[in-house]
Amino acid sequence: MSDSIASSEKAYRKVVTAWALYDWANSAFATTVVAAVFPIFYRNVAAAHLAPVTASSYFGYTNSIAMLLVAVLAPILGAIADYSGWRKRFLGVFAFAGILFTVAMVFLRTGDWLLASCLFIGGNVGWAGANIFYDSLLPHVARAEDLDRVSTRGYALGYLGGGLLLALNLVMIKPNLVGMERFPGIPNADWAVRLSFVSVAVWWAVFSIPLFRRVSEPPAAGSAHEKQNPVRAGFQRIRRTFRDIRRYRDLFTFLLAFWLYNDGIGTIIHMAAIFGKEIGISDGHLIGALLMTQFAGIPFAIAFGRLAGRLGTKRSIMLALGGYTLIAIGGFFMQNALHFWLLALGVATVQGGAQALSRSLYGSMTPKAKTSEFFGFYDVSSKFAGILGPMIFAVVGQTTGSSRLSILALIVFFVGGALLLLGVNENEGIRVARDEDMAASPRSL
């Protein structure tokens, strides 16, 4: 009996590790493409002929379009995936598309800002779309008591994996950092940047393999006796969810809170580097500080997982939002590279914890038969945040001629999100989800 228990525990750990490794895989896109290298490449090369504020604004619009596309697709695709049992299949399709668009960035040249925007939109849709179905697997992979720990473990691995590849790419782009004149086989810095995009695609593809090999596809929510078109069934499930929305009051209140505070988080992630470039901070400091954020964020993400066990998940998220409010105030007064480094360290302390615990809290209030559908709404919430935040950043920047007030405006989202979060009764939300799981047929679980 003890051998059987040990074997079962070992198998559980392998599945959890395989799931968490996808955070390691896709974080390469988040660090090199979304946060660090691509925004600078966009400003210096693709939009080289545009004014700095115009380039920042165009990049803000690019982010908004990408997030809008995902927001429109997410809920219905999630409902279809739940009904048909295609969570992993959808994950694979979106990841493959994102990888292809990322590889295509190698062909960008000076002045190609429109093509750069289109490729970034395609890559972002693939990356964000795949994350819907990856996140929806969490309640199926992790035990209920392990949700916070497993989610923060994923974020910690994401920080490490994304940070390692960003470090390798930084050496390739700026070989002088390690005493080299030129990286072997690479003629110049422009080619080094383009090849860094290829490295993201390869990293993303290779480290996704364990998830597809070890994580089982959760059962379909549709009955084996049903012969309904999955698309029609998906729309019907969406209608039923809205009809029964009062049953999930705490879950949807949390979604509204998440929509607000994640708006601020997403804007900081997407616009930090290009704002730093606007005020004259060098590329080395921008990428170096963002790289430091990746590695410094690892212990803090793990620490927030443990803090949630003591303080509670909701309170731990609110603590992180207080930290983000201080960061937004500091961003308004930022003048030099030292300030950027200090604010990046501040982001490292709260970013992983806020996002990982949001994912696990939401997962704990989600019925297992509706994980992809509900995480579709979760992703809609986050992507509409990604639309509004960069859009405000762009509009305020063009109106005032500076992005400082755009940074300060993020306080509204952090404070508003925290106030809504106060109204969430997470215990009641968890009870509703568990009651629905108990009432569901074994096939739905």
- State the DSSP string of 374-415: HHHHHHHHHHHHHHHHHHHHHHHHHHHSSSHHHHHTHHHHHH
Kindly list the distances between the CA atom of residue 99 and the CA atoms of 38, 88, 301, 391, in Å, as whole numbers in the listed order. 15, 16, 27, 26
For residue 292, which of 355, 357, 340, 354 has the smallest C-alpha distance? 340
| Integer Cα distance of 79 and 372 in angstroms | 6
| Integer Cα distance of 324 and 331 in angstroms | 10
Q: Look-up: residue for tokens 């040990």?
A: 6
Angle ∠(270,275,279) on CA atoms, nearest 5: 170
The contacts of residue 247 (CB under 8 Å, 6+ apart) are 432
Q: How far apart are the first and last CA of the chain?
A: 26
| Integer Cα distance of 407 and 328 in angstroms | 6
In this prediction the pTM is: 0.74
For residue 192, which of 13, 389, 40 has the smallest C-alpha distance? 40
| Integer Cα distance of 376 and 389 in angstroms | 20
The half-sphere exposure of 368 on its side-chain side, counting CA atoms within 13 A, is 22
The half-sphere exposure of 93 on its side-chain side, counting CA atoms within 13 A, is 10
CB neighbours of residue 225 within 10 Å: 5
Region at 424 (left for phi over 0; alpha for psi -120 to 50; beta for the rest): beta
pLDDT tens for the chain, 445 residues: list them. Answer: 454 555 688 889 999 999 999 999 999 998 889 877 898 899 888 888 888 778 877 887 887 788 778 777 777 777 777 767 788 988 999 999 999 999 999 999 988 999 999 999 999 989 988 988 898 898 889 888 888 889 888 888 988 998 899 889 888 888 876 667 777 778 888 889 999 999 999 999 999 999 999 998 887 665 544 555 555 655 665 666 666 666 788 988 998 898 888 888 877 766 777 677 777 888 778 778 877 887 888 898 889 888 988 889 999 999 999 999 998 888 888 888 888 898 888 888 998 888 889 989 988 998 887 777 777 777 666 655 556 767 777 777 777 776 777 777 778 889 999 999 999 999 998 998 888 777 765 444 4
Contact 57, 394 (CB under 8 A): yes
Burial of 127 (0-12, 13-18, 19+ CB in 10 A): buried
| Integer Cα distance of 158 and 26 in angstroms | 8
pLDDT for 54 equals 82
CATH of domain 13-214+241-444: 1.20.1250.20
Burial 384-400 (b: 16+ CB within 10 A, else e): bbbbbbbbbbbebbeee
Residue 87 in tokens = 């969570």
pLDDT for 225 equals 46
Q: How many residues does the chain have?
A: 445
Dihedral pair phi/psi, residue 229, rounded to 5°: -60, 130
Alpha helices in 137-188 (DSSP H): 138-141, 147-173
| DSSP-assigned letter for residue 137 | T
Region at 229 (left for phi over 0; alpha for psi -120 to 50; beta for the rest): beta
| Integer Cα distance of 35 and 238 in angstroms | 33
For residue 197, which of 173, 179, 180 has the smallest C-alpha distance? 173
